Structure 1
Amino acid sequence: MTSVGSTKHPYSPSNQGDNFYKNLQLVEQVKAIATEKNITPSQLALAWLLAQGEDIVPIPGTKRRTYLEENAAATQFMTHIPQIGVKFPTNSKKLKWV
């Protein structure tokens, strides 16, 4: 997201009113966790998805080779997700440290 109001789905309920700003807060939390672990937010998200089980297969899109390499590097971090101590709860909009 490059600016407030810039989104692919501006009319989605998750991007309306207070939800939009709550989502921005979540983005900042993900960025902070990733920075602390010296990885990108994308790598954190992909590693977390990969660590959820073999029945979860993320399919990230990319236009550049550097992003493809960055995405592939996320597999190095998936075994560290429990050690990173990040839990993305399914019933809450807050990231929690475990």
Structure 2
Amino acid sequence: MRLVQQVKEIAVAKGTTPEQIALAWLLHQGNDIVPIPGTKRVAYVEENAKASNIVLNTEELDRLGEIALIGSAAGDRYTQERMNWLDVN
């Protein structure tokens, strides 16, 4: 949960939500990265769209890169029981 707490700290400092920081970080990774956040509510679509206006400085990008190392959030998406429900041939 260290990753989540540090993203929250950056969000509080910038007056945004952690979700917006995560999307902003992805948008700063290059033109070949296109985040596709899922949502059920218009309010969240609007909130997500605001992430494109967030500017992250070099220090913030470095910090996020350090806490979100490849594999740091790895794991199965579903429990084994639910994985059995999927058609993954």
What TM-score, normalized to structure 2?
0.67
Q: Deviations over 1:31-66 (max 9, x none)?
A: 111011101001100011011111000000001111
**Larger C-alpha radius of gyration, 1 or 2?**
2
Write the distance in 1 (CA, Å) between the matches of 2:59 and 2:50.
16
The answer to whether 1:61 aligns with 2:63 is: no
Q: Gaps (5+ residues) in structure 1?
A: 1-23, 94-98
**Pairwise CA RMSD:** 1.8
User: How does 1:10-89 map onto structure 2 within 5 Å?
Assistant: 24-77=1-54, 80-82=55-57, 85-87=60-62, 88-89=65-66
Q: Deviations over 1:63-92 (max 9, x none)?
A: 111100000010001xx2125623213358
CA contact (8 A) 2:27 2:35 kept: yes
Unaligned runs of 5+ residues in structure 2 are: 73-89
Which fold has the larger relative contact order, with Cα–Cα distance below 8 Å and residues 6 or more apart in sequence?
2
Cα distance, 1:92–1:36 mapped onto 2, change above 3 Å: farther
Between the aligned residues of both structures, percent identity stands at 51
Letter of the 2:50 counterpart: A
In 2 relative to 1, CA 58–39 (structure 1 residues): closer, same or farther, beyond 3 Å? Answer: same
